[in-house]
Amino acid sequence: MKKLMVVILGLSILAGAFATATVEEESTYPDRNVRIIIPWSVGGMTDVLTRPIAKWLEDYFGVPFVVENKPGGGGVVGSLEIENSNNDGYIIGTTSMSTVSAQYIAPVAPDIDNTELIAQVISIPATITVRTDSPFMTLDDLIAYAKANPGELTISNSGNGASAHIHALTFEARAGVQLNHIPYLAYAEAVTALLAGNVDFTNIPLPDVAPYVDSGEFRMLALASAERHPSYPDVPTMREQGVDAVMGNYSGFLAPKGTPQEYLDILEDAIGKAIADPEIQDFLIGAGFQPVFAGQDEFAKIVDDAKAQLDYLVNELGLEFVDD
Amino acid sequence: MELSFDLYLEGLRFFANPLMFAYSLFGVFVGIVFGALPGLTATMTIAVFIPFTFGVPAVQSFAFLLGLYSGAVYGGSVSAILINIPGTPSAIATGFDGYPMCQQGRAGEAIGISTIASGLGGLFSVIVLAFAAPFIASIALKFSAEEYVGITFIGLSIIAIISPGSTVKGLMAGTLGLIIGIAGLDPIGSYPRMVFNTPELYDGVSTIPVMIGMYGLSEMLIQISDEKHIVVVSQKLKNVLPSLKKVIGLVPTILRSSVIGVIIGAVPAAGGSIASLVAYGQEKRFSKKKKLLGTGIAEGVAAPEAANNASTGGALIPMMTLGIPGDPMTAVLMGGLIIQGLRPGPMLFREQMPFVSSIFISLLISVIFMTILGLVGARWFSRLISTPKRFLIPAILLFCLIGSYAISNSMFDIGVLIVAGIVGFALRKAGFPVAPVILGLILGPMFESNMRRSLMLSQGDWSTFFTRPISLAFLLIALFVLVGPPLFGLFRRGERRD
């Protein structure tokens, strides 16, 4: 009896080994855990939107997509880790505008050219938002006042050199005004500052100001998107009001440089299906994001635009984020 | 802002789920065990367990974490009484009378009194939190950068005045904390300071590994180097439940200490260890039995224990309403909130009122569980303390490593932990308290960024700190904290001469 057991056990182990071997031969990507490195902390914007997509991919591919947060240095730590990871397709990561802007702030910064972009999943337009009791009823009012009183109007942003600061500087340049930029820790603190009336206005993107616009505490004077937002049809775009600026933050997936093109295509296709899923759509819209799917080439253009915007600020306007 | 009673009651609906009670009970249990283990501070206990709450809904995770909080603050007293090694820094003063009681064979009585005093102190703080926090929250929204400057300044000045032991050494330790806090990209201009081209340092030195290193790791190193602590004491525990008469006799002490605990707990940067020392100090000044203090009397156990548990609710007030941690423990708790996507501060009260009231109710339930478990489990807990050190110390070291790594999945933080542990060991061997280092590290960056933000808002006008009434009041309180005690000293000496 014992011998029989040993034989059966041995056979089953052999069979198992063969089974694995055959699977490996015919393996399709991905056939094991895929790690998604998020360079920002748990509960942050990128984390919130990446987790449901990761869950969707997990169900779709039937392998775990393990989300790993590597926060630090405004995304520098995690972004560098993505760059330096194995390019076998089993480590991917997320990116936002901060990955590009970090080079102007941090002594050691990631380089987006060391990665392969996969797909953009959301965009969030910058806004011009004031308190409901503000005297400014339109963007023109605000610009007229700012022109008459240079450097007087205070605007809260999410940190020196962060995307909101960059957008504010772009707005300053395009509208021909001078503002007093007050940096806060993150989007939430910058919005709280406006709510408390500590600053005159903010340009924090739509998802974070939307709840207060809905509750009647904030008034949105302009959206920096190309077209009006379906939920806020009465809010004009900046372009409509004569300020030529389309700007906002974005988030998407990328992989280390040299990840096989075949794998990038598989992931791009799957992420596209995920974004098209009504459940994911509902979630993202509910969280205030604008779901946007842009594949590898299109996403590259968006990142290039962001780079161009920064180059313009730094090289044309001679702007320095670090004043030493 | 509308804060109606209905919104308060809405928090109750979470408690229809029995899991809430289970999490709370489990938290209190784990908290007491960890708190009672020498070297495992309440702060560390919470820091270690926060990563395990990632996947749990926020209300339940907080029922658990607040249970840990109450349990650990109480649990520290058990080892302080039984072996004169405070399980947590907030139990240091408990050992002053608790251990003599134990030596007189009254360990059971001491644990009983400590449990009752902790329970009543905790209850007092929940009441204050529930009734005063919404009020404070409603004025908190009026706080701008200037007011934060004032309130962090009070915190920093308290370090100077009531750090245990030598004031000069406390100040030096606090300065060390401030210096460490400078590292990173500066909070306003992003200028790199002491980052040594290390991206891990861009956000500054991570506070939690420093905290775990300074408290936990250094304590283990001290116990390893200090071999006389190897002695294990076993005690018979009897009369755990004190008589009603005895409890009534302690009411003035408990009430006095609870008030002290809530107030000091609510002041940013103070917290349970300072609250319990001050309460013991007050007892020494006002109690009828002041001359007997230190010989093993009930008042000497009740005062610090009521105060340190009262400080739990107190410390939650600035955390929940202003987003400022009242002590290192709430600093870690705050991390737990942020992980859940909830930002502590005025917005929490506006947007998450049912969640906020669930926190109050969770704290109340944890106080009740703490009292019950304390009285029932006292005998069993004492056995844990008798675990041989050769098992205990490696186990605690392992927890330190896991806790530090888990905060941001970073090996770099393990390095921070080890360096902080060695520095903390050296500091403590040289007689420096480590608490001011942590508080300096936490408060320094808050003070700096808010001061610079204030000056940007006022376009460089320093008078902004004096023309805003709340800011002015805070600065006056800070002045009083710094100048008050020496003035009182002069006054009292004058009295004696008459």
pLDDT tens digits, residue range A210-267? 878 887 889 999 999 888 888 899 999 999 999 988 888 899 999 999 999 999 999 9
Q: Are B190 and A69 within 8 A, CB to CB?
A: no
Report which of A268, A269, A273, A276 is spatially closest to residue A252, judged by C-alpha positions.
A268
pLDDT at A141 over 90: yes
Residue in A184, A188, A196 closest to B142 by CB: A196
Please report whether residue A8 resides in a domain: no
Separation between Cα atoms, residue B126 and residue B93, nearest integer Å: 23
Pairwise CB contact (< 8 Å): B199 & A199 = no
Do A115 and A256 form a contact (C-beta atoms < 8 A)? yes
Q: Does one domain contain both A146 and A77? A: no
Q: What is the pTM of this model?
A: 0.72
Which candidate from B191, B456, B457 shows the least CB-CB separation from A322?
Answer: B191
Residues A213 and A263 in one domain: no
Do A93 and A149 sit in the same domain of this protein? Answer: no
User: Cβ of B10 under 8 Å from any chain A Cβ?
Assistant: no
| Predicted pLDDT at B165 | 59
**Chain A contact set for B342 (CB, 8 A):** 43
CA distances, A307 to each of A98, A166, A173, A247, A321 (Å): 11, 11, 17, 12, 15
With CB atoms and an 8 Å threshold, state whether B199 touches A192: no
Please give the distance of CA A200 from its chain centroid, rounded to a whole number: 26
Contacts of B457 in chain A (CB under 8 A): 154, 180, 182, 198-199
Determine contact: B198 vs chain A, CB below 8 A.
Answer: yes
CA–CA min distance B106, chain A (Å): 49
What are the distances in angstroms from CA B371 to CA A292, B117, B304? 54, 9, 16
Any idea what the CATH number is for the domain that residue A76 is in?
A: 3.40.190.150
* A180·B409 Cβ contact <8 A: no
A72 and B410: CB-CB below 8 Å?
A: yes
pLDDT at A154 over 90: yes
Touching check for A42 and chain B: CB below 8 Å? yes
Domain count, chain A: 2
Residue A77 near chain B (CB below 8 Å): yes
Instruction: Indicate which of B185, B405, B452 best probes the interface with A, i.e. most A CBs within 10 Å of its own CB.
Output: B185
Same domain, A58 and A146: no
Residue A181 C-alpha from the chain's centroid:
22
Final residue of a domain: which of A241, A260, A290?
A241
Could you say which of A241, A259, A277 is where a domain stops? A241
Question: Is residue A21 very low, low, confident or very high in pLDDT (cuts 50, 70, 90)?
Answer: very low
Distance from CA of A176 to the nearest CA of B (A): 21
Residues A154 and A59 occupy one common structural domain: no
The whole-number pLDDT of residue A18 equals: 45
CB < 8 Å to B343, chain A: 188
| pLDDT value for B466 | 93
- Cβ-defined contact of A71 to B408 (cutoff 8 Å): yes
Q: What is the DSSP letter of B191?
A: -
- Same domain for A178 and A108, yes or no, is no
B:329-348 residues touching chain A, CB 8 A cutoff: 338-343, 345-347
The answer to whether position A292 is within a domain reads yes
| Closest approach of B167 to chain A, Cα-based (Å) | 33
- Same domain, yes or no: A285 and A301: yes
* pLDDT score, position A89: 94
**pLDDT grade, residue A22 (50/70/90)?**
very low
DSSP state at residue A176: T
> Are A256 and A120 within one domain?
yes
Boundary (domain end) residue, out of A241, A256, A271: A241
Taking the Cβ of residue B463 and every Cβ of chain A, the question of whether any pair is shorter than 8 Å is answered with no
Is A219 domain-assigned?
Answer: yes
Query: For residues B178 and B173, what is the distance between their CA atoms, to the nearest angstrom?
Result: 9
Rounded distance, CA A313 to CA A317, Å? 5
* A231 lies in the same domain as A262: no
Same-domain pairing of A267 and A228: no
- In whole angstroms, give the CA distance from residue B489 to residue B484: 9
Give the pLDDT of residue B100. Answer: 81
User: Does the residue A232 lie in any domain?
Assistant: yes
Decide if A28 is inside a domain.
no
Instruction: Residue B341: list chain A partners with CB under 8 A.
Output: 43, 48
Task: Report the C-alpha dihedral over residues B84, B89, B93, B97, rounded to 10 degrees.
Answer: -20
pLDDT recorded at residue B153: 84
Q: Per the structure block, which two tokens stand in for A196?
A: 């408390």
Domain membership of residue A52 as a residue range: 34-124+248-315
Q: Quick one: A230 and A147 in the same domain? A: yes
Cβ of B196 under 8 Å from any chain A Cβ?
Answer: no
Quote the ipTM score. Answer: 0.75
- Residue contact A180–B459, C-beta within 8 A: yes
Q: Is A68 on the interface with B (CB under 8 A)?
A: yes
Does one domain contain both A69 and A150? Answer: no
Query: pLDDT by residue for chain B (498 residues), tens digit each?
Result: 345 566 667 778 888 889 999 999 999 999 988 887 655 667 767 766 776 776 788 889 889 999 998 998 888 888 778 766 666 767 777 877 887 887 777 878 888 899 999 999 999 999 888 887 767 666 666 778 888 888 778 777 766 655 555 778 888 998 999 999 999 888 887 788 998 888 888 888 987 788 778 877 887 788 788 775 555 555 555 666 778 888 888 999 999 999 888 877 776 555 677 678 778 877 776 777 777 777 888 898 999 999 989 988 888 887 787 666 666 677 678 767 766 667 676 677 777 888 888 888 999 999 999 999 988 877 676 666 566 777 877 877 887 787 677 667 789 999 999 999 999 999 989 988 777 787 788 778 888 989 999 999 998 999 999 999 989 988 997 887 777 666 666 666 555 444
Residue at A20 is within a domain: no
Minimal Cα–Cα distance from A283 to chain B, Å?
A: 15
Q: Strand order of the sheet with strand A180-183?
A: A180-183, A154-157, A201-202, A127-131, A218-223
Strand residues in chain A grouped as ranges (E): 34-38, 65-69, 91-96, 115-125, 127-131, 154-157, 180-183, 201-202, 218-223, 248-256, 290-294
Q: Which CATH number covers residue A235?
A: 3.40.190.10
Residues of chain A contacting B188 with CB distance shorter than 8 Å: 160, 183
Can you give the pLDDT at residue B369? 95
Identify the pLDDT of residue A204.
Answer: 92
Residue A11 domain-assigned? no
Distance CA B72, CA B33 (A): 7
Tell me if A135 is assigned to some domain: yes
Residue A4 has a pLDDT of 54
